[in-house]
Amino acid sequence: MQMIRDILDTLPDGSVLDVRIGLNWIAVVVEVNGLQRCGLASTLSAGHHHDRQEPNVPQAGFLEMLGARQLAEMALSCNPTQASIGVAAINALLPHFPQLWFEANAEDMIAVQGQGKRVVLVGRFPFTERLRKRVDELLVLEQNPAPGDLPASAAPEVIPGADVIAITGMTFANHTLEGLLALRTPRAKVILLGPSTPLSPVLFDYGVDILSGAVVTAIEPVLRTVSQGGDFRQVHRAGVRLVNMQRPNLNH
C-alpha cells in the first residue's frame, strides 16, 4: 500500500467536521486553513453480522474527534468500510489543482484512447455497452460478473494484452490498484475513473495516465443526499463537478 502512504505524505492536517456513511457513498467534510472541503468514496462493506466481535467502525459516533490526517490514514485499513472512510478523507484533504483540471466525459476519453484498440474495463459502468460499440475490443473484469463479463481473477490473463486500461477508483479503496497496474505493459494507457479516484499527481508516478474524478461544489446538499442513500446520479445533481487530470506530456 505504498501508493496510499505516498499520497498521505502530501496531505495537510485539519479538523473533521462531518462524516456520513450512506448506503452507496461516504462523504467526509474537513476544514483546512479556514476552508471547508468534502470528499467522496464508494461505500465498501464487510457486511452486517450480529455475532461480529469488532464493529466495522470502532469510533462510530466520535469520528469528528479524530484529526483529518488520522481519519485519512484509515485508507490503509483492511476493513472495507474504514478504508472507504479513509479514501473519502483523502479526497477531502487533497490540494486542489484547478489549473490542471479539464472537463471531459470519461466514456468519451476511453473511446478516443481506445479507438481501434483493445480496451480492458475494470469494473462495470453505466456506459459499458455504449463503449463496446466505440472500440475495437472491450473486455470487462468484474468481481460480480454479469453475462459477458470476465471474473476479476482473469486480470493476469487479459490486462497485459490491453492497449487501454480503464479502472474503477474503487480499486484504490480496496487495495487492488497497485497489483492491477503491475500487470500493464509500458505501452498501455491507464485511466482511473469514478468519484473515489484521488485527484493526486502521485498516481502518475505509479503508471496512471488520466485521473477522472469528482469535486464536491455544494457540501450540504451532497451530505443530505449521501445520508439518504442516494446513488451517484443523485449525488452528482446535488452538487458535484466531474473533472480530469492527465499526466504531463501524455501522448494521445
Give the per-residue pLDDT at 249: 80
138-181 pLDDT, tens per residue? 999 998 888 889 999 999 999 999 999 999 999 999 999 999 99
Which residue numbers in the chain have pLDDT < 70? 47-53, 251-252
Give the per-residue pLDDT at 25: 98
Residue 84 near residue 43, CB atoms below 8 Å: yes
Please give the C-alpha separations between residue 15 and each of 30, 136, 191, in angstroms, as whole numbers.
5, 48, 32
Residues 207, 250: Cα–Cα separation, whole Å: 11
Q: Is 100 exposed, middle or buried (0-12, 13-18, 19+ CB in 10 A)?
A: middle
Give the per-residue pLDDT at 51: 59
If we measure between CA atoms, which residue out of 105, 119, 252 comes closest to residue 193?
Answer: 105
Please give the C-alpha separations between residue 121 and each of 41, 98, 247, in angstroms, as whole numbers.
19, 27, 20
Give the per-residue pLDDT at 53: 66
Give the position of cell 484512447: 113
Give the per-residue pLDDT at 56: 84
Domains and CATH numbers, the chain: 2-95 (3.30.390.100), 99-212 (3.40.50.11590)
pTM above 0.85, yes or no: yes
As beta bridge partners, residue 135 has none
Please give the C-alpha separations between residue 159 and each of 30, 82, 91, 100, 174, in angstroms, as whole numbers.
37, 29, 27, 28, 18
If we measure between CA atoms, which residue out of 77, 91, 53 comes closest to residue 222?
Answer: 91
Share of the chain above pLDDT 70, in %: 96
Residues 249, 252: Cα–Cα separation, whole Å: 9
Give the per-residue pLDDT at 52: 62
Please give the C-alpha separations between residue 144 and each of 124, 152, 192, in angstroms, as whole numbers.
9, 8, 20
Give the per-residue pLDDT at 39: 98
Please give the C-alpha separations between residue 203 and each of 39, 126, 162, 177, 208, in angstroms, as whole numbers.
17, 25, 19, 10, 6
